[in-house]
Structure 1
Amino acid sequence: MKTLATTCAAACAAFILTAPHAQAHVSITVTNDQRCITSDGVPSHDTGPWRAGAVLVAQSHQFCMPAAPQLSGGVTQDVLVSGITVSGIPLRPGTAEYYDASSPRGYSRDRASGWNVEGMGGLTMDAQNGHVDGRGLYHYHGIPKDGTRDLDQNLFGYAADGFPILYAGDHIQPSWQLKSGARPSGPSNPGGAYDGTYVQDYEFVAGSGQLDECNGAMVNGAYVYFATDTFPFFPRCFKGTVSADFMGRRR
């Protein structure tokens, strides 16, 4: 297994200064203390198919975050957009869907059950682990294989607080684990085995992997997040100050 330092390599020293491989529809600029990524939100790879009627619509994305992020000493959660790739595609691993036995689909926006549908376990994705929302906004819930082939020193994107996100693949293991056994029974519970359909099927087990609860770690004196092939895929909580550009209401 590769170490954190090996996977991070020279990117840990360079991520503050450079932004590689910007495509024609993507602009990455650093002005004063802000790094801004603008794009039309259209990836270079094929997309779809998804549910009937779902169509990708070009966007006018602009996400700005601290260019030199600092650890805040706290943890921020419930952020709409976890980050954005260097190719200009938002990362939105969370969903607004919850188990709902009364819904024909088995889930709805009603949070009463407390069982939050995991995007990669319970919703329809394309071959790149992405889909569109009701506005046609394309985003990733998991790792896009076509989006990780030509990364410069593993730099995949930037998180909502400005720290870099490096692609680790399966070389670095998160500390989130699938629970064993079956979900508790009850009228508001989906029942069945813990299989990854719901976020609550997972638990953080400190020390079971190499990363913290936000899928990050200190490497060579710098804090970085990792994009991993297994849950949580991208950071879902944040150790720095989250930019307002990434907050919002799930649609």
Structure 2
Amino acid sequence: MTRLFVLGALMTLAIVLKSSPGQAANSVKISTKGDQLCVSSNGTPNHTIGTFPNRGNPHRFRAQKLTYCMDATPQDTGRITHRANASGISLTGVPFRPGTADFYDASSPRGFSRDSSSGWRLEGMGAADMLGMDRQNAHVDHRGLYHYHAPAPALTASLRGTVIGYAADGFPIHYVGDSVKPSWQLKPGKRPTAPYGRYDGTYEQDWQHVQGSGNLDECNGAVVDGSYVYFATDRFPFFPRCFRGTVSRDFLGRP
């Protein structure tokens, strides 16, 4: 795996909490229970969120009672797993969920639905307007759970250091702007089936991993100072979408 030197010393972070008019204050607790690192929160971010419902998102934000526990001392298993419904959790207790459950569907009035038969899954940020993302690259699901599809400017600005959260297998997630480059590229040419058109990032299948095209691996991670870490990036895949450690069950049961 590629070794990076862009980070320097890895820092322990302090959380700067902000109150937003008409929105409950962020509440989060990070603790260690045996061999588990647990993040518990009310699901409310430490910044103002967009207006929900909106044209692309019919759901209303609701505070949640969330607890995500993961390996406190993660180890590289030597294999890659793709199974997880959330990529990780922020230090402020808001989930990272870059993927979507929506697919191209010509028979739907909105042009997409939960019917996966087309094989073209909407990419959250590529279809941001269609899915009603706010300015923090986030929206809410059918339960009102607010979650990020890409790094949130307000979140990264509110934290001291580079760690913004933890992945589903316990490895830390760092954000360092454009100092690192993912190894995912848009496919050349055009889609062979409906919705046709050029590969432009609207759908997850528009992207392909090209080893060596960036300095991160397939899971958006790398070895830094002898330790494996993931990165949140400003371009696809935004957060890790596969994992080198053991994924916690807490990240498997939240569709």
CA distance, structure 1, for counterparts of residue 32 and residue 5 of structure 2: 26
Q: 2:14 maps to which residue?
A: 20
The within-5 A match list for 1:84-95 is 84-95=89-100
1:120 aligns with 2:125: yes
CA distance, structure 2, for counterparts of residue 246 and residue 132 of structure 1: 17
CA distance, structure 2, for counterparts of residue 248 and residue 20 of structure 1: 29
Counterpart contact for 2:132–2:139, Cα < 8 Å: yes
Name the CA shift for 1:32/1:249 in 2 (closer, same or farther; >3 Å): closer
Percent of matched pairs sharing the same residue:
56
CA distance, structure 1, for counterparts of residue 166 and residue 104 of structure 2: 31
Q: In structure 2, which of residues 42, 63, 71 is the aligned counterpart of residue 58 of structure 1? A: 63
Q: 2:21 maps to which residue?
A: none
1:78 aligns with 2:83: yes
Structure 1 residue 152, shift from structure 2 partner: 2.7
Structure 1 residue 168, shift from structure 2 partner: 2.2
Deviations 1:94-119 (A, max 9, x none): 11111111111111111111111101
CA distance, structure 2, for counterparts of residue 102 and residue 54 of structure 1: 22
Q: What is the aligned-residue RMSD (CA, Å)? A: 1.6
Deviations 1:56-103 (A, max 9, x none): 100001000011100111111131010000011100001111111111
Q: In structure 2, which of residues 44, 47, 50 is the aligned counterpart of residue 48 of structure 1? A: 50
1:134 aligns with 2:133: no
Structure 1 residue 6, shift from structure 2 partner: 2.3
Structure 2 counterpart SS, 1:30: strand
Counterpart contact for 1:22–1:87, Cα < 8 Å: no
Gaps of 5+ in 2: 18-25
Structure 2 counterpart SS, 1:27: strand
Which range moves more in the overlay, 92-101 or 143-152?
143-152
Q: In structure 1, which of residues 181, 186, 198 is the aligned counterpart of residue 189 of structure 2? A: 181
Structure 1 residue 19, shift from structure 2 partner: 5.3
Q: Which structure has greater helix proportion? A: 1
Q: 1:167 maps to which residue?
A: 175
Structure 1 residue 171, shift from structure 2 partner: 1.2
Structure 2 counterpart SS, 1:146: helix
CA distance, structure 1, for counterparts of residue 16 and residue 155 of structure 2: 12
Gaps of 5+ in 1: none
Q: 2:226 maps to which residue?
A: 221
Structure 1 residue 208, shift from structure 2 partner: 0.2
Structure 1 residue 249, shift from structure 2 partner: 5.3
Deviations 1:137-181 (A, max 9, x none): 000001100110132320110000000000021111000011122
Which range moves more in the overlay, 113-122 or 48-57?
48-57
- Matched residue type, 2:99: G
- Matched residue type, 1:138: Y
Which range moves more in the overlay, 80-89 or 53-62?
53-62
CA distance, structure 1, for counterparts of residue 160 and residue 32 of structure 2: 18
Name the CA shift for 1:33/1:19 in 2 (closer, same or farther; >3 Å): farther
Q: 2:6 maps to which residue?
A: 6
Deviations 1:29-79 (A, max 9, x none): 113211100000111211122435422100001000011100111111131
Q: 1:197 maps to which residue?
A: 202
CA distance, structure 1, for counterparts of residue 254 and residue 229 of structure 2: 26
CA distance, structure 1, for counterparts of residue 173 and residue 34 of structure 2: 21
What is the count of residue pairs matched by the alignment? 239
Name the CA shift for 1:25/1:148 in 2 (closer, same or farther; >3 Å): same
